[in-house]
Amino acid sequence: MNPVRVFFVDDQELLAEALAVRLSAAGGVLVVGRAPTTDPGLGDAVSRTRPHVVAVDPSPLGPGAADLLETVTAAMPGCRLVVLTGSSDPVLAATAARAGAMAWVGKDSSAEHLVGVLRGVVAGKAFFAPDLLGFVLGELRNDLTRGRDSGGPLEILSARERDVLLGIVEGKRGSQIAADLFLSVNTVRTHTHNIFSKLKVHSRLEAASLARSAGMRPRDSVGDGSMAT
C-alpha cells in the first residue's frame, strides 16, 4: 500500500514536527513538507511537493483563514484538505468546509486515528466531529439557499476568485493580480481556470464581459486595459 503524502501547514513548528514524527512512526504516511501559514511561497511549495493531503491549522489567522485555505486548494486542486487543529470553533469549521476541507481533526488525536482519517479522505470519505457537523451542514445549506435567492452568476465564485475576476475586469495581467493579492502567478492561473469553468466562459474577455453585466466594476486604480494572460 502506497504511503499517503502529507504536507503540514502550521505555525507551531515544534508541534508540527512532533506530529510528523508520530505519523511517520505509525506507518502509511510520508511527510513531504512543512510551512507556516504566513509563508508567501506556500502555494508553490504545495505544488512542488505534490501531496495527497494538506493538513492545515488555520485557527491563528482568524478571518484570514479563508484566504489560506483557498491558497492551498488552488495550489493543488486534486489534493485533499484536512484541518488539523486544537480549535473547536464551528464558524471556522464551516469556513473550512466551504473551502473544500474534507475533515476536521483534533491535534490530540491518536496517530492511528490520524492515519485513518488521512487514508479516508484520500478514498473520498469525510470526517467532522458530531458536535460540529450539525452547524457545518446548516451553514452549507444556508449558502445554497442564499445562492438560489440571489440568482447572481458570480455567487458561485469564492471570495478569492472574485478578487481575481475583479483584476481581470480591470485589465490586469496575471502577474499584476498576483502581486496585488500576494499570491503566486501559478495560484492566480489556477483561480482563473476555476473562474472560467464555473462561469462557463473560455477567455478573459468573456469573463470580464459577464462580470460587468453582473454589476462588477473596476476600482479607481486599474490596469493597462488589455486582456493579457
CATH classification of the domain holding 111? 3.40.50.2300
Least confident of 133-137, 174-178, 217-221: 217-221
Dihedral of CA 76/80/81/85: which sign?
Answer: negative
Query: 63 lies in a domain?
Result: yes
pLDDT at 147 over 90: no
The reported pLDDT for the residue numbered 145 is 67
Cell 510520508 identifies what position? 30
The torsion angle over the Cα atoms of residues 195, 201, 203 and 206, rounded to 10 degrees, is -110
Q: What is the distance of C-alpha 72 from the center of its chain?
A: 4
The reported pLDDT for the residue numbered 139 is 84
218-229 confidence digits (pLDDT tens): 875 434 444 444
The reported pLDDT for the residue numbered 7 is 95
Same domain flag for 180 and 78 = no
Same domain flag for 112 and 206 = no
Average confidence (pLDDT) over 64-92? 86
What's the domain range around 9? 4-142
The reported pLDDT for the residue numbered 83 is 94
Of 142, 177, 192, which residue constitutes the final position of a domain? Answer: 142
Query: 223 lies in a domain?
Result: no
Q: Which residues contact 220 (CB under 8 A, 6 or more apart)?
A: none
* Between 119 and 224, residue with greater pLDDT: 119
**Cβ–Cβ < 8 Å for 38, 7:** no
CA end-to-end span of the chain: 42
Same domain flag for 26 and 120 = yes
**Cβ–Cβ < 8 Å for 82, 121:** yes
CA angle at 162 for the pair 223 and 83, rounded to the nearest 5° = 130
Same domain flag for 44 and 127 = yes
Average confidence (pLDDT) over 43-52? 91
pTM over 0.85: no
The reported pLDDT for the residue numbered 74 is 82
Number of domains making up the chain: 2
